[in-house]
Amino acid sequence: MCSTIASFSARRLVLVVDADALSRGAMQTLMQREGFETDAAWSGVQGLGKAMARSYDLILLATKLPDVNGLLVARRLRAHHSTARTPLVAIADEGDEAVADLALAAGCDDCIAKPVNPVTFYKRVRKSLVRTTLT
């Protein structure tokens, strides 16, 4: 499936922060299919460190991480000048619908539930990239 989401980003670099190796790998593969380069982190602390050290076009952030709550990571990213405008999409565990409102309140542009459906994933990521590019 080609949804041309990569056309919204000049640098085309995505950070995927998720403790679940299968989910992290699946999201990296989906983004790579669209022409993005990907970087990965398995914890909140590692994700924050990478996000502060490098400029990303998009950050996909699991809400449940082994060390720091993903929503706290989102708040920290929004509070830092270098990541305040980076598109940020929360990835919630299946059955955790209540986290979507909390993710938006924490500064995420959107929230997608696992398991990630590729069609929905591409539409929502594209929407977040468009919204951020236009503002």
- Per-residue pLDDT of 70-85, as tens digits, reads 999 999 999 999 999 9
43-59 pLDDT per residue, tens:
999 999 999 999 999 99
What pLDDT does 12 receive? 85
- Helices first, then strands: H and E counts in the chain: 5, 5
What pLDDT does 1 receive? 43
Q: What is the pTM of this model?
A: 0.90
Domains in the chain (CATH in brackets) are 9-134 (3.40.50.2300)
What pLDDT does 135 receive? 55
Sheet containing strand 58-62, edge to edge, reads 37-41, 13-17, 58-62, 88-92, 110-113
Where the chain has pLDDT below 70, the residues are: 1-11, 132-135
Tell me the C-alpha distance between 34 and 57, whole Å: 13
First to last CA, the chain: 27
